[in-house]
Chain A
Amino acid sequence: EPEVTQTPSHQVTQMGQEVILRCVPISNHLYFYWYRQILGQKVEFLVSFYNNEISEKSEIFDDQFSVERPDGSNFTLKIRSTKLEDSAMYFCASGEAGGWTGELFFGEGSRLTVL
C-alpha cells in the first residue's frame, strides 16, 4: 500500500542551525501539507502546498520556515535558524484532492529536538 515517508525519523540539532525535513508523498498526490505537534499539545497546521506554491500558511509559518518540492518527488520543510521552541514532531501529509473532499495520508513524523 502506498505510503508517505519522512526522513529523518529523529534529528537533534543545536539552536541556530538549519534543519531540512524531508517527505516523499504518495506519487499521484497533488496536495501536500506540513503539521507539527509540540510534546503534549495539539497537532497544528503549518502550511499547505499545491501546484508548486504555498496555498495557505499559518501564523506559525514565519520567515524562518520554507517549503520546496525540489525534484518532483520530495517535499521539504526547511527551518533556517532553529529555536528551542521548534522542538516538536513534524508531520508531512499528502492528498489526491484538496478542498472539501480530500482524504489525507500522514507520514510517521520527524522528531526534531533543538538543544
Chain B
Amino acid sequence: KNEVEQSPQNLTAQEGEFITINCSYSVGISALHWLQQHPGGGIVSLFMLSSGKKKHGRLIATINIQEKHSSLHITASHPRDSAVYICAVKGAQKLVFGQGTRLTINP
C-alpha cells in the first residue's frame, strides 16, 4: 500500500516569499501529480511528472524517483496562490492522495 506524506501541513508566508512544499511516498510509482484545491473545493491539476523537473509560470515541480520524493515550489508568491496543494501518486489506474498542504499567502 502506497502512503503519501506531505509537509508542511500548513504554511503561512508573506507575499513575495519563495514557497516549498514536499511530498514523500513509500512505493514505486509511474507518475506523480500536484493538484491545487480551491477554497470552494474544486481541484485543478498543476503538474504530472515522472522524472526531472517541470515549470509553469511561477510554479516549479521536481521529482527524485530514487529518493521517492517530490517538491512543489512557488516563486514570488501572491495571495491568489492561497489554496490547498495536494500531491497524488499514480499506479496503473488510481491516484493515492496526500493529506494536502494548506498555503496562506498574506499581502
- Where the two chains meet, the residues of A that have a C-beta atom closer than 8 Å to any C-beta of B are 33, 35, 37, 41-45, 48, 55-56, 58, 89, 91, 98-109, 111
Contact = CB atoms under 8 A, between A and B. Distances in A.
Interface stretch (B16-24, B61-69, B72-80, B91-99): B91-99
Given A55-B93, A111-B41, A42 B30 contact: no
Number of contact residues on B: which range applies? 20 to 34
Chain A interface helix/strand/loop/mixed: strand
B43 interface: yes
Interface string B10-51: 000000000000000000001101010000111111001010
Nearest to B33: A104
Chain B residues touching A, majority SS: strand
Nearest to A106: B43
B42 A106 contact: yes
6 contacts: A37-B41, A43-B95, A56-B92, A56-B94, A99-B93, A106-B44
A99 B99 CA distance: 23
